[in-house]
């Protein structure tokens, strides 16, 4: 009976934020705010460039991963003009490991627009910010709110979870996002509009986490509907995710005696667009380059004992890795070139292939006549 009463109470209070205590949220933030390199200490506002960089990096990426990348970008490109003048290849190499490389290319384009067309002045409203390349509605709202204290909607995963649990909303997030936007603005205080979304982010990251709701230390506990449920962690309602489709592919790791590796620049759009990578096929619905296959005629292609899997947003790639050692006199066809072996500069996908090849080469001690399965 207690459980049924709790559910009925939650449903009756759905979308009810009258007990939401913004002052309690901000008081908690004053004591417990995370120290992040892109933040400013209240009442100061963080530089717009810092917020811009961090928010683009944080898309689909956790804070702990972003921090060293953010620090390195600030060291190399300390302001919007420096980033606008940067070589895109240098930016992509510095981005390697963060994934979703279109973010980096769009970041450079946005920096160029701000630096040149806007003379270094950041747009201050979400409506203007969203016009920049790579800036969606969430990122525009976050920059407007955090850098300029604008009354913009900021709904990342942490904030959505806090609001949904507070009101006991038992519907999938995508069905209530518009309503959440309205409720967010209804509880947004007149002052400290920069601190407020950051405070909710920190509550979601450290207290109201996906797997554990630490209600006893939450500043919103007194009015929270989910706290009265047996398992607050059941909210938000989790949609059923279909299994990711699987694509099969091959990747060639081609080396020559001078300790270099063959690479090619990928098409500017699509998966890993514009990045340097190894010849490959299948995973991106491509086929091996016939010119490359012709140039490799007569060379020995060795299938490595282990391949690897890599998760992309919409599919899983299961890859076979092949190693090919060519002679010092072998000449690559057009659009291919020799490069130094610098895995830190490569996307994780190609780094995984190299790890398999490197392990193989160490195990065989350079003798490729060992009894691994060959393919013609």
Model confidence at 366: pLDDT above 80: no
pLDDT reported for residue 155: 97
Model confidence at 100: pLDDT above 50: yes
- Mean pLDDT to the nearest integer, 86-102: 93
**Confidence tier at 246 by pLDDT (50, 70, 90):** very high
Round the average pLDDT of the chain to a whole number and report it.
Answer: 92
Q: What is the CATH number of domain 246-375?
A: 3.90.79.10
Specify the pTM. 0.84
Positive or negative, the CA dihedral 366, 371, 372, 376 is positive
pLDDT reported for residue 160: 97
Model confidence at 288: pLDDT above 50: yes
What is the per-residue pLDDT across 11-47, written as a single tens digit (0 to 9) for each?
444 578 999 999 999 999 999 999 999 999 889 999 9
What is the per-residue pLDDT across 324-364, written as a single tens digit (0 to 9) for each?
999 999 999 999 999 999 999 999 999 999 999 999 988 87
Of residues 309 and 178, more confidence is placed in: 309
Pairing of strands 301-303, 374-375: antiparallel
Model confidence at 258: pLDDT above 70: yes
Q: Where are the domains of the chain?
A: 2-234, 246-375
For the question of residue 55 being annotated catalytic, the response is yes
**What SS3 state is found at 8?**
helix
Model confidence at 374: pLDDT above 50: no
**Confidence tier at 269 by pLDDT (50, 70, 90):** confident
User: Rounded to an integer, what distance in angstroms lies between the CA atom of residue 92 and that of residue 338?
Assistant: 19
pLDDT reported for residue 370: 35
- Mean pLDDT to the nearest integer, 214-243: 94
- Give the C-alpha distances (Å, rounded to integers) separating 65 from 68, 161, 201: 7, 21, 17
Of residues 372 and 272, more confidence is placed in: 272
Catalytic residue from among 55, 160, 250, 320: 55
Q: What is the CATH number of domain 2-234?
A: 1.10.340.30
* CA-atom Rg of the chain in angstroms: 25
Residue 356 C-alpha from the chain's centroid? 25
pLDDT reported for residue 72: 98
- Give the C-alpha distances (Å, rounded to integers) separating 121 from 128, 193, 302: 12, 21, 55
């Amino acid at each position: 009976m207690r459980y049924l009463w709790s559910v009925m109470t939650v449903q009756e209070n759905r979308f009810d934020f009258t007990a939401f205590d913004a002052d309690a949220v901000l008081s908690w933030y004053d004591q417990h705010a995370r120290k992040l390199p892109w933040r400013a200490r209240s009442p100061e506002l963080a530089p717009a460039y810092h917020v811009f960089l961090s928010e683009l990096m944080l898309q689909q990426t956790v804070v702990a991963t972003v921090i060293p990348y953010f620090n390195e970008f600030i060291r190399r490109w300390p302001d919007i003009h420096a980033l606008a003048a940067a070589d895109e290849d240098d930016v992509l190499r510095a981005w390697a490991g963060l994934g979703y490389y279109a973010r980096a290319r769009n970041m450079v384009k946005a920096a160029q627009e701000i630096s040149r067309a806007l003379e270094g002045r950041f747009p201050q409203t979400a409506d203007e910010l969203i016009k920049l390349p790579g800036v969606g509605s969430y990122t525009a709202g976050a920059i407007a709110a955090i850098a300029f204290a604008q009354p913009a909607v900021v709904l990342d995963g942490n904030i959505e979870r806090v609001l949904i649990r507070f009101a006991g909303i038992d519907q999938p997030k995508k069905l209530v996002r518009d309503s959440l936007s309205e409720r967010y603005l209804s509880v947004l205080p007149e002052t400290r509009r920069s601190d407020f979304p950051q405070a909710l982010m920190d509550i979601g990251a450290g207290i109201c986490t996906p797997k554990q709701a630490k209600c006893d230390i939450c500043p919103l506990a007194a009015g929270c509907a989910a706290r009265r449920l047996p398992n607050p962690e059941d909210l938000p309602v989790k949609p059923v995710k279909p299994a990711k489709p699987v694509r099969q592919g091959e990747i060639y790791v081609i080396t020559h005696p001078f300790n270099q590796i063959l690479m090619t620049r990928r098409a500017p759009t699509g998966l890993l667009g514009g990045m340097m990578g190894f010849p490959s096929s299948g995973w991106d619905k491509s086929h091996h380059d016939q010119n490359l296959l012709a140039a490799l005629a007569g060379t020995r292609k060795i299938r490595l004992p282990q391949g690897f899997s890599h998760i992309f947003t919409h599919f899983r790639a299961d890859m076979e890795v092949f190693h090919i050692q060519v002679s010092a006199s072998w000449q690559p066809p057009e659009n291919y070139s020799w490069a130094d072996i610098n895995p830190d500069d490569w996307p994780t996908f190609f780094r995984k292939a190299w790890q398999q090849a490197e392990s193989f080469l160490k195990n065989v001690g350079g003798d490729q006549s060992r009894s691994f399965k060959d393919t013609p």
